[in-house]
Amino acid sequence: RRLDNALSIGDLRTIARRTTPRSVFDYVDGAAEDEISARRNVRAYEELIFHPQALRPVDHPDTSVRLFGRTIPLPLGFGATGYTRMMHHHGEAAVARVAQHFGIPYGLSTVGTTTVEDVRAAAPEVDLWFQLYVTSDPQINDDLIKRAHNAGCTTLVLTCDTAVSGNRRKDDRNGLTIPPTLRPSTIIDMGLHPYWWVNKLTTDQITFASLAGAASTYNFNQIASKIFDPSVGLDSLGWVRERWPGRLLVKGILSTKSAREAVDGGADGVIISNHGGRQLDRTPAPITLVPAVRKELGPDVPILVDSGIRNGQDIVAARALGADAALVGRAYLYGIMAGGQDGVVRAYEILAAEYQRAMQLLGVRHSGDLSDQHVTLPGARPG
Ligand code: FNR
């Protein structure tokens, strides 16, 4: 099988590029403005230094961790990404099923293309999170929160780095719309990626979890201006906190000050993230902020990190530097573009094998033992 030849997330990306229309691939792969944050995210992981402990044989590393009262096999979750049925017709339901199979959490996006009820039906046991974009319409917000709760979501993720949509020039150049509009270039693309198009045209129309019943074709900026609300602030966090009885995480934290404010404002934990470089460009690489945010919030507040994770070693590093767990976006999206649900499985398998091997080579028996003795930021000394 083609997927078995994929030995890395980069290999899945290469296959994804071949199998998926360019506008869709670019939407996933691309980032905001000059894509400096996106490159910096990946480079920050490349620049980390791993310090193996000699003479510590590890036959069977225990990669599992406790996260939010559950034992999960790897400190990893599938983060929230929009429009997954555009990447592959298997869509959000497939990602949720894979997360369920491996026992890791999955976050459904407000701009998902499968309703939270349908995702729950597809994966009854998955630890389902719901990522909320607070819109300017309180009725919609209220409704989304209630539906997430009724569908048994354990965790609400409030994304706070999207006052407006990031400027992703590739999407403008490619004329990306949902659903795809028929143009001369579309016809050419159908010849190049027939499998994707046949499935697109034979499966039902894309519907939005959040914009149920809303009108036909949107370009991306129109969707963004419907969803994003520039007035989202600390009072919005308070508003959500009052309505959401479960665990509440604030996503898009990029400083110790914001982390503190989020927790003081009612969050149960934070996700250090620059949205994979898709919002404000030139931000810090989230992984480099983990030690300082951990110091600020102390040992007990859950801290997650995402942006730029392409290898299981990156997840080892996140854990060693003080995060409870890491989230991936593109890593599993490359998988789904490359091969639908099987591609998401392959993405997980690749990350898990890399994680386990890194632990053995570092000489670490339990994920819980990973520390800043094992991984350091450039210039820092092992703890
Ligand atoms: C995202 N991300 C995102 N985040 C969010 O809170 N709501 C959303 O709807 C989306 N949509 C989305 C679509 C696509 C195509 C991508 C790639 C990302 C951001 C996502 O949750 C996460 O922060 C990043 O994907 C992490 O960076 P990596 O792993 O993609 O490098």
pLDDT digit string, tens, across residues 248-293? 999 999 999 999 999 999 999 999 999 999 999 999 999 999 999 9
The pLDDT-based confidence of 198 (bands split at 50, 70, 90) is confident
Instruction: Give the residue, by CA position, lying nearest to ligand 1 atom 14.
Output: 81
> Rounded to the nearest 5°, which phi and psi values hold at 155?
-140, 135
Pocket test for ligand 1, best of 78, 81, 83 (most atoms within 8 A of CB): 81
The residue-averaged pLDDT of 118-142 equals 94
Q: Binding site annotation covers 168?
A: yes
Ligand 1 proximity of 276 Cβ (cutoff 6 Å): yes
Round to whole Å and give the CA distance between 71 and 251: 22
CA 33 / ligand 1 centre spacing (Å):
16
Burial of 204 (0-12, 13-18, 19+ CB in 10 A): exposed
Q: Binding site annotation covers 282?
A: no
Ligand 1 proximity of 80 Cβ (cutoff 6 Å): yes
The pLDDT-based confidence of 192 (bands split at 50, 70, 90) is confident
Round to whole Å and give the CA distance between 76 and 306: 10
The residue-averaged pLDDT of 71-77 equals 98
Q: Which amino acid is at 344?
A: V
pLDDT digits (tens, 9 = 90+) for 146-162: 999 999 999 999 999 99
> Catalytic residue among 90, 275, 366, 374, which?
275
pLDDT digits (tens, 9 = 90+) for 199-249: 777 665 555 545 443 434 555 556 666 778 888 899 999 999 999 999 999
Distances (CA, A) of 74 to 53, 58, 233, 356, 372: 21, 17, 33, 9, 18
The answer to whether the beta carbons of residues 61 and 359 sit under 8 Å apart is: yes
- Per the prediction, the chain carries an average pLDDT of 92
Element holding 139 (H helix, E strand): helix 138-150
Number of residues that this document lists for the chain: 383
First to last CA, the chain: 44
Quick one: which of 218, 246, 250 has its CA closest to 133?
A: 250
Round to whole Å and give the CA distance between 42 and 333: 16
Q: Tell how strand 375-376 and strand 49-50 pair up.
A: antiparallel
Round to whole Å and give the CA distance between 308 and 331: 9
The answer to whether the beta carbons of residues 290 and 255 sit under 8 Å apart is: no
Place of tokens 């592959």: 88
Report angle CA 91, 354, 357 to the nearest 5 degrees: 150
| Residue 11: both structure tokens together | 């290999």
| Residue 205: both structure tokens together | 């129309």
The residue-averaged pLDDT of 346-355 equals 98
Looking at residue 222, what is its pLDDT? 61
The answer to whether the beta carbons of residues 153 and 130 sit under 8 Å apart is: yes
Is residue 275 annotated as part of the catalytic site, yes or no? yes
The answer to whether the beta carbons of residues 185 and 277 sit under 8 Å apart is: no
